[in-house]
């Protein structure tokens, strides 16, 4: 069919596909690479990873072929591919990126450890056409700052010489991980609780009562009581799903990787127990792409479970993130699992009602389910009796920054920063005095040394404008540039905003620009902060102003000493 145009020309309107033509060679590449893999829409990101891993980038010709194969609009494929930081899109005719990419972590812990200077030195030492050197957000190794990823190999406490040695050796595969195998875990009593639950020796109500008595709460940040979340999901109609959030992207957070690398089967038992409680159809584990070595570990650990008959083949599904901090938010994570850009959903309904594939979904953090078998084995009193200063339980503190012994420290809930640093972290580094600390990562706010005696736990920090979140404690000293700390945190939020809502998308960029000035309008900063907290869809925009407000509340004299004039609202 044709249509007459004003000029008298005739334009074809049907019969030919619109857009660029499908490349048969690209489709053949895809068929060879993917074989008989299913083409369900939720596998889009997995297929993009296969392409990226094989070719080193995503060409638009292969994206068109993938859209054709999966029967998806090209716009949907392109939108998803461009949303995630770990996918490199190369248009037809453009030069692909170099074969080797060096990613230098630019999180706060790494910045304090000299990552900026390290990146400059690496850039100066390499031809950009041969080796690409780029910034990257937190890689979950904050205790080893500065951290660099060469190919898929991570180097901690690193230097130019160490990077060059890896490049010369040519082994850019993930580092090996020594983990506890299934036989060893079962020899220590592992999977006994799962068997008892499945065979009726332990009931769901009994187990829920144990967790209630222990006080186990969600350890990904929100702190919602675990037994209560079980009840909400169980009350919804089947089929139900379970999702494990293993996308710990909060700068300073390293605890989930710590536990997964040491005892993946304890985590998997906890996940299977939780799934059995809510009668989940399947378990989906969403593991951040910054942990390539752990992808191998979990694939092998899941295979061990299937071979031993502890999990049906395909019941536990492992999926890769693709570099998006926002996917730590549970509804954004579910969007990503469904093969879409990880943008948070409006609520209600909550994911416990309509989550993965529009079905009721239990979402738990890695560490939350990790503790379930051990709490049952040792008893609720063992866990609950561990706290200090009137608090109950244990907390895994991810400590980084200016301390002698950074890392994951299992300590009593309610311990103070001063106690944590002295008793577990070997004190402050020589020549450094505590100036400030972030009790809950980049979004948890910032407190001065004068408040180092506040108990660190859920509900104890809110009166000070902070929260513990995932217990990522970042320690800042008197040797550090306070504005540099704030601009690092705000640049992270601005870069990681999904862009869905204006208060977050525009607010983070606007606030970053204001912080880069030598004169700060405190009233304008507070007003913008309030708009972001009140109107942003999810926690990213709502929490991004927390460190700024903390500095305005506690550090104006320090800012003045660094040459920054803070104009208070009543002084204008």
Give domain 182-378's CATH architecture: 3-Layer(aba) Sandwich (3.40)
Q: Is the pLDDT of residue 468 over 60?
A: yes
Which pLDDT does position 569 carry in this prediction? Answer: 66
**Which CATH number is 19-90's, of 1.10.10, 3.30.200, 1.20.81, 3.40.50?**
1.10.10
CATH architecture of residue range(s) 394-477: Roll (3.10)
Instruction: Count how many Cα atoms sit within 13 Å of the Cα of residue 414 in the half-sphere of its side chain.
Output: 10
Q: What is the pLDDT of residue 2?
A: 47
Is the confidence at residue 1, as pLDDT, over 50? no
pLDDT at 21: 85
- Tell me the CATH class for 482-571: mainly alpha
**CA angle in degrees (0–180, nearest 5) for 302-307-308:** 95
For the cut 70, the answer to whether the pLDDT of residue 137 exceeds it is yes
Contacts 24+ apart (CB under 8 A), 112-121: 112/145, 112/401, 112/402, 112/476, 112/480, 113/145, 113/146, 114/146, 115/145, 115/146, 115/147, 118/146, 118/148, 118/158, 118/159, 118/160, 121/160
Across 18-22, 219-223, 546-550, the highest mean pLDDT is recorded for 546-550
% of the chain residues with pLDDT over 70? 96
**pLDDT surpasses 70 at 411:** yes
Per-residue DSSP letters for 72-96?
--HHHHHHHHHHSTT--EE-TTSPP
pLDDT given at position 338:
98
62-85 pLDDT, tens digit per residue, is 999 999 999 999 999 999 999 999
Tell me the pLDDT tens digit for each residue of 38-68.
Answer: 999 999 999 999 999 999 999 999 999 999 9
Please state the domain extents for the chain.
19-90, 100-169, 182-378, 394-477, 482-571
426 touches 404 (CB < 8 A): yes
Tell me the pLDDT of the chain averaged across its residues: 95
pLDDT of residue 143: 97
Give the C-alpha separation, 517 to 446, whole Å: 20
Q: What is residue 428's predicted lDDT score, i.e. its pLDDT? A: 98
100-169 and 19-90 share a CATH fold? no
Kindly provide the b/e burial profile for residues 107-129, where b requires at least 16 CB atoms within 10 angstroms of the residue's own CB.
bbbbbbbebbebbebbeeebeee
Q: Tokens 């010369």: give the residue.
A: 168
Q: What is the pLDDT of residues 510-539, one digit of tens each?
A: 999 999 999 999 999 999 999 999 999 999
**Which residues on neighbouring strands pair with residue 299, listed in sequence order?**
none
Q: Does 269 score more than 50 pLDDT?
A: yes
Q: Is 314 left (phi over 0), alpha (psi -120 to 50) or beta?
A: left
Backbone angles phi, psi at 283, to 5 degrees: -110, 130
Is there a contact between 458 and 217 (Cβ–Cβ < 8 Å)? Answer: yes
Check whether domain 100-169 has CATH 3.40.250.10, yes or no? no
Residues 227 and 179: their CA atoms lie apart, in Å, by 29
CA 510 to chain centre: 24
């Amino acid at each position: 069919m044709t249509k007459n145009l004003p000029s008298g020309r005739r334009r074809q309107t049907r019969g030919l596909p619109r857009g660029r033509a499908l490349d048969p060679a690209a489709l053949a590449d895809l068929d060879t690479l993917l074989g008989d893999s299913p083409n369900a829409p939720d596998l889009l990101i997995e297929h993009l990873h296969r392409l990226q891993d094989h070719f080193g980038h995503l060409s638009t010709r292969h994206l068109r072929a993938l859209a054709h194969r999966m029967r998806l609009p090209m716009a949907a494929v392109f939108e998803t591919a461009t949303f995630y930081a770990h996918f490199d899109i190369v248009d037809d005719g453009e030069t692909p990126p170099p074969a080797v990419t060096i990613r230098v972590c630019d999180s706060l812990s790494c910045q304090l450890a000299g990552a900026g200077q390290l990146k400059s030195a690496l850039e100066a030492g390499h031809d950009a056409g041969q080796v690409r050197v780029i910034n990257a957000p937190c890689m979950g190794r904050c205790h080893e700052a500065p951290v660099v990823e060469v190919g898929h190999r991570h180097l901690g406490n690193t230097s130019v010489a160490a990077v060059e040695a890896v490049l010369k050796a040519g082994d850019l595969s993930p580092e090996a991980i020594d983990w506890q195998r299934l036989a060893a875990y079962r020899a220590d009593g592992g999977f006994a609780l799962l068997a008892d639950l499945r065979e009726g020796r332990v009931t769901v109500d009994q187990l829920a009562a144990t967790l209630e008595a222990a006080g186990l709460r969600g350890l990904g940040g929100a702190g919602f009581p675990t037994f209560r979340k079980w009840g909400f999901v169980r009350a919804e109609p089947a089929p139900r799903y379970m999702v494990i959030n293993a996308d710990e992207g909060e700068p300073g957070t390293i605890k989930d990787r710590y536990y997964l690398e040491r005892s993946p089967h304890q985590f998997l038992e906890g996940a299977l127990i939780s799934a059995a409680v809510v009668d989940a159809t399947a378990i989906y584990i969403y593991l951040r792409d910054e942990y390539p070595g752990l992808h191998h570990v979990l694939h092998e650990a899941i295979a061990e479970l299937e071979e031993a008959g502890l999990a049906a083949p395909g019941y536990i599904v492992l999926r890769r993130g693709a570099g998006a901090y926002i996917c730590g938010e549970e509804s954004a994570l579910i969007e990503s699992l469904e093969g879409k850009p990880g943008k948070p959903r409006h609520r209600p309904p909550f994911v416990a009602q309509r989550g993965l594939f529009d079905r009721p979904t239990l979402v738990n953090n890695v560490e939350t389910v990790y503790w379930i078998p051990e709490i049952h084995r040792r008893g609720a009193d063992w866990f609950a009796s561990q706290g200090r200063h009137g608090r109950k339980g244990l907390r895994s503190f991810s400590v980084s920054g200016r301390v002698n012994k950074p890392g994951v420290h299992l300590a009593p809930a309610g311990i103070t920063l001063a106690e944590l640093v002295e008793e577990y972290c070997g004190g402050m580094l020589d020549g450094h005095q505590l100036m400030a600390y972030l009790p809950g990562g980049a979004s948890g706010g910032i407190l001065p040394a004068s408040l180092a005696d506040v108990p660190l736990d859920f509900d104890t920090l809110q009166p000070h404008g902070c929260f513990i979140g995932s217990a990522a404690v970042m320690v800042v000293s008197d040797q550090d540039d306070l504005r540099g700390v704030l601009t690092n945190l705000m640049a992270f939020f601005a870069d990681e905003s999904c862009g869905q809502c204006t208060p977050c998308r525009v607010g983070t960029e606007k606030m970053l620009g204001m912080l880069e000035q030598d004169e700060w309008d405190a009233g304008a900063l507070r007003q913008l902060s309030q708009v972001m907290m009140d109107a942003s869809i999810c926690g990213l925009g709502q929490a991004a102003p927390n460190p700024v407000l903390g500095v305005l509340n506690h550090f104006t004299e320090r800012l003045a000493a660094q040459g920054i004039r803070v104009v208070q609202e009543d002084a204008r």
